[in-house]
């Protein structure tokens, strides 16, 4: 009887492992999916807040989450090498612009470690970047390049502030390998979330 129970437990564990492996391989990114299953609090813990802030700024929440994934891997306490902080790795300069625009007095850069404040500032900054590129067929790659490398560089890669070019041409024009990889990785992550039908 004990042998039978032992074999049954082994079979159930193997079947469960095979199911998890199969489902994660079908997700498009098995490593991410496994990490998400192992640590849902880290990978999904900010989803409700991301949805609310994205809706407030008329942005796709999957895009915002893809930026969070790329910038901090969902670590709200991350401190970047150039002083960027929190989930969306918002710089102090960008945060001060956000605070001024939204009439937030006595704002301190340390507040960027608060997920809500960080998402508010970062999403506002991303939304503003998409507004700069609203004439483009797809403003997302342009806005992401601006978010990462600044407006003047994004304008140079686009051929000027008022130029209208295909997104693929714009991406080819990005002569900073880090920014090109940044844009491509976020767009790839956004497509992954859309394939899954959820963040």
pLDDT band at 171 (very low <50, low <70, confident <90, very high): very high
pLDDT band at 37 (very low <50, low <70, confident <90, very high): confident
Domains and CATH numbers, the chain: 39-196 (1.10.530.10)
Q: Is residue 159 within 8 Å of residue 175, measured between CB atoms?
A: no
183 CB burial (10 A radius; 0-12, 13-18, 19+): buried
| pTM of the predicted model as reported, rounded to 2 decimal places | 0.86
State residue 33's pLDDT score: 83
Q: Which residues of 116-152 are buried (b: 16+ CB within 10 A; e: fewer)?
A: ebbbbbbbbbbbbbbebbeebeebbbbbbbbbbbebe
**Closest residue by Cα to residue 140 from 39, 55, 67:** 67
Express each pLDDT in 8-31 by its tens digit. 788 777 766 666 565 555 555 788
Express each pLDDT in 75-109 by its tens digit. 999 999 999 999 999 999 999 999 999 999 999 99
User: Alpha-carbon distance 186 to 67, whole Å?
Assistant: 6
DSSP assignment letter at 69: H
State residue 23's pLDDT score: 52
């Amino acid at each position: 009887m004990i042998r039978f129970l032992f074999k049954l437990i082994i079979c159930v564990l193997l079947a469960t492992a095979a199911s998890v492996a199969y489902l994660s391989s079908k997700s498009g990114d098995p490593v991410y999916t496994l990490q998400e299953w192992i640590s849902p609090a880290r990978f999904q813990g900010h989803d409700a807040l991301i949805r609310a802030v994205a809706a407030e700024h008329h942005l796709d929440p999957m895009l915002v989450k893809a930026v969070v994934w790329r910038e901090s891997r969902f670590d709200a306490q991350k401190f970047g090498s150039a002083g960027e902080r929190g989930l969306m790795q918002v710089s102090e300069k960008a945060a001060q612009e956000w605070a001024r625009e939204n009439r937030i007095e006595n704002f301190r850069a340390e507040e960027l470690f608060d997920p809500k404040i960080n998402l508010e500032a970062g999403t506002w900054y991303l939304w503003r970047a998409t507004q700069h590129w609203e004439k483009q067929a797809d403003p997302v790659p342009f806005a992401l390049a601006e978010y990462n490398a600044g407006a003047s560089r994004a304008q140079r890669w686009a051929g000027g502030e008022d130029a209208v070019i295909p997104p693929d041409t714009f991406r080819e024009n990005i002569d900073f390998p880090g920014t090109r990889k940044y844009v491509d990785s976020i767009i790839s992550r956004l497509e992954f979330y859309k394939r899954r039908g959820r963040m």
